[in-house]
Amino acid sequence: MTTVVRFARFNVVGALGIGVQLLTVAALVYAMRIDPVVATAAGVSAAIVHNFAWHVRWTWRDRMRPGTSRVRAFIRFVGANGAVSLIGSVLLMPVLLGAGLPAITANLGTIAMCGVLNFGLAHAVFTRRTCHT
């Protein structure tokens, strides 16, 4: 599969993950009155699990051969994406909220800032070398 096709699939899954994140944040902030930074951490976590499941099934399906440890791949994926998405979002949210952005708009800002790096990290997680063990 070409990098262009893989990048397109990555973005489709990511768009769905954005929906998961924003719905989680909206429910927690607006319906349950949870702090937006805490809600963002929960939303990002839900999106990471969602995205991993779809990346394994679709984006990097060709690299998930029989015998590939999905647990190890998940740990690597969470480590890579958690470092960028979770930490980045939690650090950026107070800045964006302090600038007067509402929680959902601020989340979209953190997603945009962290998204490009996430493809590179996910591509490294699902390498032929690490998935064919």
pLDDT tens digit string along 51-100? 999 999 999 888 887 887 889 889 988 887 777 889 999 999 999 999 99
Measured distance CA(88)–CA(110) in Å, rounded: 7
Amino acid at 10: F
Domain that holds residue 83: 3-131
As for how many domains the chain has, the answer is 1
Residues in Cβ contact with 17 at an 8 Å cutoff, skipping those fewer than 6 apart: 47, 48, 50, 51, 54
pLDDT score recorded for residue 129: 59
The predicted model scores a pTM of 0.83
pLDDT score recorded for residue 96: 97
> Chain-wide mean pLDDT for the chain?
89
Amino acid at 66: P
pLDDT score recorded for residue 77: 85
